[in-house]
Amino acid sequence: MQVFQLSKQTSFFIVGPRRPSDKCFAYGQTWPPPSVDIVGKQLWNAVRLISGDAAPRFPRPGRIVYAPLTLPTSAVLIQCPPPPHILDYTKWAQRNTGREVALRGPLQVRPQRSGVAILTCLCRPVMGTLLKNNNDIRGYYDAKQPESLSDWLNKPEIPAPTEIMENVHSNATEEALIDVIQKLRYNKPKGPYDNTKDYLETQYDLLREDTIRPLREAVEHVRADPWLDETDFPNGSNISIYEPVYIVSKVFSPRGLATRVAFSLGRVKKFIRWHQSKRLLTGSLVALSPMDDRFQHKCVLAVVGARPITGGLDQNPPEIDLFFARPEDEEIDPSRRWIMVESRSSFFEASRHTMLALQHMVREPFPLSEHLVTVQREVGPPLYVQKQPYTDLSSVVAMEDGEAFQNINILSDWPSDASYELDESQSKALRRILTKRLAIVQGPPGTGKTYVSVAAIRILLTNMHQDDPPIIVTCQTNHALDQLLRYLAEFEPSFIRLGGRSKDQDKIKQRTLFEVRSNLRYEKSHGDLKSQASAQIRDLTRNMQMLLAPLEANKPPLDHKLLLRFGLITAEQAVSLEMEDEYAMGISPDEPGVQIEQWLGRCLEPCPRPLQPDEFGLDFEEEDFELEQLQELEAEVVARDDDDFENLYGKVTLLGDNKTGRTSSSSLNTDEEIKVLLEKTQDLTTIPVSERGEIYNYFQRQVKQLILVEFRRQAKKYKAAVLNRRIGQWEQDARILRSQRIIGMTTTGLSKYRALITSLRPKIVMVEEAAETLEAPVTVACLPSLEHLILVGDHQQLRPHCQIRDFEDEPFNFNLSLFERMVNNDIELDYLRSQRRMIPEIRRLLFPIYGNALKDHPNVKDADNRPAVEGMGGCNSYFFTHEWPESKDANMSVLNEKEADMIVGFFDYLVLNSVDPKKITVLTFYNGQRKVITKKLRQHRNLRGCASFNVLTVDSYQGEENDIVLLSLARSNKQYQIGFLSVNNRICVALSRAKRGFYLFGNAEMLACESGTWGEVVETMCGKRKDNPKIGPKQRIGYYLPLECTNHSYKSWIQNPSDWELINGGCNEPCRCRLPCGHICMLRCHPFDKAVINCTQKCNKRVGLCGHPCTALCCDPCSYISKPANTIHSYNIGIQPNGSNVKQWKAYANGGAQVDDEEMARKAREKNAKISQTEAKLIDVSIELVKEKKSSNTNLLLDLEDDDTFHTGRIRSKTTLTYEAATNKEGNKENVTLLNLLD
């Protein structure tokens, strides 16, 4: 394919053929021609003659080469030498003023003078489609909003200070807040909106208020009492305060003009584990105010541009990079002190691009508005299906039947369900996806939503034409997107992932836009927008760095020539400074600042360090997230293709006041007084020395102000250049994306890259996890070219998340997804019914939510696919109920310490029973409880070998599953308050994540009383429901957790966390199995293999030829202690052998040594016999106790501890037998203890 970019003086591109069968543009023959070098030389010699290029490059397949070329018209190409016949090339394109026109037809060659040929297209465009390039993306940003009185269309991308401060100046803050709330529009769960604009404005207003209000309230709190520390504010306020804050540098990054600030944690009173803190996340919105104002009148907004850990936040004081909201907000004074406030409960960047897209949609066509806005219930087929309903369905049927399904009219002749590799409900859902322009599919847990989505995409790809735009797939989370793309990659290699941080290190990472772009070798074109913008950025960077030069750190005082140029002193005053003794200080007068330094003398002193390191000892703030969770949260803010995730790259100018004037004895108090004095004095040397320090400080202030004015003007140009660079980059990316068949991104990425996606003119958009996404990000998917929108999800699971809790309730209903609103308005949908995840014993818990609509697939009933949980005796689900009181952490998050201990003990028990820790997930509804459980698991002595633990909140585990799930409910209080444990959507997710083992821990009585859904769950676990006779009533609830030993089938009941110490993963029976070494195992019953046990009994094997007994433990290598005879054997023989008495040594070797060895062996045999008798006696006693107490609720501890000292010739042993029998649910216990049975 050949691409020609036309302008007055432009670049001439030739792209080599993609396939060997493609015809060579130069001669119309198959590639490669007989002599590639000769063809290349002939072609480029002609180009060189025209363009004057002395070093032309030779074209190669797949590579772009260029040379300047002047073209007379947009329809004529000059090329030499002329082909001898008409060139019939299948496709070529020319680019002119941003439009790409695809032409098909022969090209005529007309020989001209000097061997130059003109090729002219002989036919008009026959494809009928203009594929816009530059105009689409540039127009997206250049188009102006229609004239309107609506305030929301004129609101800036980043809030103005007035939006944050609008309630600050009101004496009646609550009344002002009520007024703001009353002005907001409400989401409509049912019924139509008035019009498209009313609908878009509603989504915009609610999203903006949900994003901005937390910061506004934080500023109000700080303004009301500016001196409070973070810990003094109400618990759970999530207000972060950093004071003082200083500007330390400017970073001229391709992403924008950044300001690096250093700040103190003095108001935090603790160090921060930045890797696990949600403070100052990239993309967070912060408010700054001078410390002498403290939000009384001045407020500046900024967005965190990057949070570098190394060399940034790990320093003391820490540093962070900020993007000021507006160029007019830029600050450069390194000595000015600021206070910075953020709200950790809001994440601005996640909503920023969605709000921009909603504003933009007002001036675009709005496909599907008849369903989304006016809620028309009947849905027709997509336009492209109406034109061509015959579809190839062979990709989802058995291979032998494929030919019969290659041409099916899907609007009238849908095959029977038996023909597919799908169940009945999946087949119906697939038909809806393919035949409805708005297709909604609800899939309860484990029913194969993703499987159906992949099957639908496979069919759509099979029926795509070469010129069709790519299919857009989007998900709420990066994890779900990666999972979907992995399935698609199995049969479609032509896909690209946009934005975010993919954890997939194999296929998906290789197909991110950044990686694909990096692997393509494009020749740089100096005429494209990106190159022009990059050059402009470099020029502006150079100019702005020169402008900031007087304020750079480690520089001399201000130069008198600079003061003259800025008009701060007159020419006469400058001369007076130069008349000073230029060489008095031995410094060249040409060096900047020498004259001022001489003039000031002792009045010039170094500036003190503005910010001292914080000192909090070892006090650290508790972590908020695991590192992986933080990266997921930030992933869409700075994508991998935006250079680097943590750092901003670019030139840096360090700022700092190096010198200051001493002012202790000055009589000048105001700038006005100094200005009057300077106007009166032409000879600055006549000014008293005591006043010069204050005058120099005045010069510094004025210079900063004058520089700031020009710097802000340049910053405005810099911001425009950065936008143009991004547009230019997207224009290049669009060429890559047009060649792909699938493009994947998250819903946040869809808003962020909307201009780029719009330029591709996609027809099909699929949204996975549609029911847990706010309506606005899905609305943004309605691109002007859209013909087919597919929504897949389950509104009965997790709802979208709001920053403001009140917005989840009436009348706002802001956490209502577009998916759920369509269902509420009776828009057609299909329902998946066959679940393939949970065993029936677990699935039955979902009856209160789905009723009998959810069916079990045969796979989940197969014991080979879903084996019973090890060590539980067939009890694969259980509700351990208790009344242990809850508490709250510093952030007002609920936690329950004793319940956490119980869960950690159970986790250890499962691991001891050979369950892989990766196959266990601990879920909880509260982040405080998550932190506690994670901490206790890490500290458990038996679990220190585990690399990581799956401990997550329910909200973050939507769409996931694992073999065994332990659910910590945490809530237990006298007020019977259960918080959002009452939300059915969260209950549904919590109950449906386990495949073969599910165990709940909480106050069942309280939950059953306060929630109808929990009441039915508890009733089911009590065995009182008979909704499914095949399962049968099973009682799975109690104050004791039932265990069953895999070795002895002995049952144990655990009531308290301390009870876990009474067993070793098995039961209380002594093991007594014979170890590989021959000794009897002295441990209590254990489920793990005896081969991994280190025997700690004495070895006593004979060693080598000497025959000495081994003195090491059995688990250690055999050895014996060899000592001089005078210390080992002297008490048995009456000699003292030494190195000088050879006769005595010979006599000892011939008899004395053998006697001593026999005596030592005799004593060892007696000692071992005594130990064996004692052990047998204790074991008999323990067995008798068990027989006497044949209680089913028995906890037995047999702990044998031997402390043997062979060197002193005696044995000290203590064996403790503790018998605990639980007699009732209150936990009354009988303790029998046998102490000191051995001396």
Give pLDDT, residue 1073. Answer: 82
Give pLDDT, residue 596. Answer: 87
Q: Which tokens go with 662?
A: 């001493």
Give pLDDT, residue 1234. Answer: 27
Give pLDDT, residue 136. Answer: 79
Give pLDDT, residue 1009. Answer: 94
Mind listing the domains of the chain with CATH numbers?
3-132 (no CATH), 369-389+422-520+740-831 (3.40.50.300), 836-1038 (3.40.50.300), 1090-1234 (no CATH)
Give pLDDT, residue 32. Answer: 32
Beta-strand pair 117-121/239-253: unpaired
204 neighbors 193 (Cβ within 8 angstroms): no
Cα-Cα-Cα-Cα dihedral sign, residues 168, 173, 177, 183? negative
Beta-strand pair 962-968/920-924: parallel
Give pLDDT, residue 456. Answer: 96
Query: What Rg do the C-alpha atoms of the chain give, in angstroms?
Result: 40
Amino acid identity at 549: A
3-state secondary structure 1154-1222: HHHHHHHHHHHHHHHHHHHHHHHHHHHHHHHHHHHCCCCCEEEEEEEEEEEECCCCEEEEEEEEEEEEE
Ordered alpha helix ranges (H), 347-423: 349-361, 369-372, 383-387
Note if the bond before 762 is cis, omega within 30 degrees.
no
Length of the chain in terms of residues written: 1239
95 neighbors 4 (Cβ within 8 angstroms): yes
Along the chain (1239 residues), what's the average pLDDT of each consecutive run of 10 residues?
31 33 33 33 36 37 32 33 32 31 32 33 28 65 62 90 74 56 84 94 95 93 89 77 95 96 90 85 94 94 90 89 96 95 88 94 94 95 94 83 83 76 90 96 94 95 93 92 93 88 74 86 67 95 95 89 91 84 54 84 82 67 55 52 62 90 79 90 89 91 95 97 94 92 94 94 96 95 97 92 86 93 95 94 93 91 93 94 91 90 96 93 94 94 88 88 97 92 92 96 95 93 70 82 88 93 82 82 78 78 70 74 39 40 48 60 66 53 45 33 32 30 34 30
Burial of 370 (0-12, 13-18, 19+ CB in 10 A): middle
pTM here is: 0.76
